[in-house]
Structure 1
Amino acid sequence: MEAIEELFYHIDPPRRTRTVPMQVLAVGPSRSGTRSLRASLLQLGYEHCYHGFDPEDWKNPPTAEDFDKVIGHCMAITDHPAAAFAPELIAAYPDAKVILNVRKDVRKWHKSVMETLMPVYKSWRFSFRSYFCAELYWMQKSFVRGNWNIFYRGNFEKNSYQVLEDHVRMVKSIVPPERLLEWDIYDG
């Protein structure tokens, strides 16, 4: 399968080096104000805030060197990649501040994901189109079928509340209080 993927869906992965220090890790899940948080971080001068996903698939826990190949030009990171790799990012960038962005009203967060992201996740059209575009193929494979499933233990609808609770507990347990800001989009 790897040979077929290479033949039909080859994309040169980014090969960056760290050019600016990583300063902010916003490790809350998608639909917890990540786009607004990204806009705020950019406005505050944190250049190149990574907000997305990539086709990289690490076999071992990624290191700062591994992350830097993709986000070496970024001073901050938000959204699902930050949440999914939170422990690794926190370990890789021990001087970065950590924002735990979650929506206090977990039902609203769940509803937002169900109305915006899950239709794409479940879309046969998106899945079908991904076979004709390398970028969509890797998005489908690495994010939709890959990392999203792993993070939410195979079923967002069934496991999301518990995963979010576990995620918050884990982040709070590994980040010293002086390095952690808990933030909800309604906090402003």
Structure 2
Amino acid sequence: MATPNDTHHHIYAERNEDPRKRQRTVPMEVLSLGYSRTGTMTLKAALEILGYPTWHWVTMAENPPDLSMWAEALEAKFQPDSALKPFGRAEFDNLLGHWAACTDQPAAIFAEELVNAYPDAKVVLVDREVEKWYTSFSSTVIAGSASPFIPLAARVSPGFLGQMARQTDLICKYYFHVPQPRERWPLVNNKEHFDTWRANARATYLAHNEMVRRVTPPERLLSFNLADGWEPLCNFLGKPVPAVSFPRVNETEVVQQKIQLYIAESFKRSAISFARVMLPVLVALVASVWWAYFQ
């Protein structure tokens, strides 16, 4: 069974590449547009076995500036009074230029834009039974976001977890129609916010799947059940069936552990940064005391 460290090993990497300077290096061939918690990590693993480098939500952790650009994409899409221009092919090439496939949010929220931007790409929709999806989504994404340590971690790591929280808040407000904002102060009760998110989740999920079917030409769309394994996916993509078992990633375990790793990494890096700033100050203080009393 895959673990967080061997499934996505570049957690919170030390990179700060400007995504707006990124160019497309491989053609976009597969758009997996099922929403989060429909087996997106499993599908990422399967597509990569088939030879498609695949973008996933966790990929943003390899280059934190991508988080900010995706948040800008959400603002441009959902805020009519925003000065930002809605994203098109050029901007999606910036964000997804190194990958031949993409899966998970926030990319899936831009299903219509991506279907139009990449007319030669095939579209896969994993339509998980709604109650199974809700149980998984509520216990991982919502429960993880509800951690009282998230606002504190966002404050000590504004460039990483701060941007991740910004992105999550935009998705809550505009995609899940959660009107009350999350209180960003540490250890404040946000129960009403997260209760509304849970109450709206099922309808949002069903509307998302309906939207993907509506905007995708039928000949480009595969409605896929992960339990069916390689054959329908390979037939749709024109690939031979691999001589390995279809991957099964325990997505719930991976997501829960990744959230913990992100928080821990943010606190660790903040502590290191604080120590780097304070060490010269302490050295100077000790030196001044020594000079004052012993010279």
Q: Report the TM-score, using the length of structure 2 for normalisation.
A: 0.56
2:94 corresponds to which of 30, 55, 69: 69
1:33-59 alpha-carbon deviations (Å, 9 max, x no partner): 100000000000002x11015221132
Q: Is 1:92 the equivalent of 2:117? A: yes
Equivalent-residue separation in structure 2 for 1:176 and 1:167 (angstroms): 16
Q: Secondary structure at the match of 1:45?
A: coil
> What is the CA RMSD across the aligned residues, in angstroms?
1.5
Q: Secondary structure at the match of 1:19?
A: coil
1:57-86 alpha-carbon deviations (Å, 9 max, x no partner): 132321110011111111010001222111
Q: Which amino acid is 1:22 matched to?
A: M
- Stretches of structure 1 lacking an aligned partner (at least 5 in a row): 1-10
1:160-186 alpha-carbon deviations (Å, 9 max, x no partner): 222222222221122111100011222
Q: Is 1:34 the equivalent of 2:40? A: yes
Which has the bigger relative contact order, CA under 8 A and spacing at least 6?
Answer: 1
Equivalent-residue separation in structure 1 for 2:124 and 2:89 (angstroms): 18
Aligned residues: 175
1:3-50 alpha-carbon deviations (Å, 9 max, x no partner): xxxxxxxx6632211111100110111110100000000000002x11
The higher radius of gyration belongs to 2
- Stretches of structure 2 lacking an aligned partner (at least 5 in a row): 1-15, 61-66, 77-84, 179-195, 230-295
The runs of at least 4 aligned residues of structure 1 exceeding 6 Å deviation read none
- Residues 22-171 of structure 1: pairs in structure 2 closer than 5 A: 22-47=28-53, 49-52=54-57, 54-56=67-69, 57-58=72-73, 59=76, 60-103=85-128, 105-133=129-157, 134-142=159-167, 144-154=168-178, 155-171=196-212
Q: Secondary structure at the match of 2:160?
A: helix
Q: Whose strand fraction is larger, Structure 1's or Structure 2's?
A: 1
Identical-pair percentage: 37
Q: Which amino acid is 1:125 matched to?
A: F
Q: Report the TM-score, using the length of structure 1 for normalisation.
A: 0.87
Equivalent-residue separation in structure 1 for 2:171 and 2:121 (angstroms): 24
